[in-house]
Amino acid sequence: MQLTRFDRWLREKFVHETHIHTMRPVDRPPAGVRESTPAAKPGRQFRHRYITRSSKAADELVRTLRQNNMMFTTRIVDRRGWHVRFIAPEARSPTWWLISFTLTMLFTASLVFLGHRLWSDPEIRQNILESLHIIRQ
């Protein structure tokens, strides 16, 4: 299903984080960027990883890396957390799910209200009971 603008904003704000891999360490990473050591794998060419959840901090770090002519690569990955599966379910839009759930609940509440109103009227109740009695015979 196609994501809405609100869905994309939710994913950018609460789900995605930017990993920037470099060969050499950065002198002073911008605020909001933390350094992490990637797992040791044979043949790994990038030795330093910087993680940020802010796109502005990532842009600032990339600008610094370009100014210093450093080789780097960026990856956008999903955070690990309990809220990720609710905000960014696979191949579904939480906005459309919420809208369809709300409409379904309103429709169900309307049917229950209508059924209660009909059943509380003694004449209609008598007609329904007579109809059920005739059907059973």
Q: Hey, which residues does 74 pair with through a beta bridge?
A: 20
Average pLDDT, integer, range 44-60:
90
Q: What are phi and psi of 36, to 5 degrees?
A: -140, 150
Q: Which is it for the CA torsion 6, 88, 49, 22, positive or negative?
A: negative
What per-residue confidence (pLDDT) applies to 1? 63
For residues 12 and 34, give the distance between their C-alpha atoms in angstroms, rounded to a whole number. 18
Q: pTM for this one?
A: 0.69
- Express each pLDDT in 56-74 by its tens digit: 999 999 999 999 999 999 9
- Express each pLDDT in 8-18 by its tens digit: 898 889 999 99
Per the structure block, which two tokens stand in for 3?
A: 């994501």
For residues 84 and 75, give the distance between their C-alpha atoms in angstroms, rounded to a whole number. 18
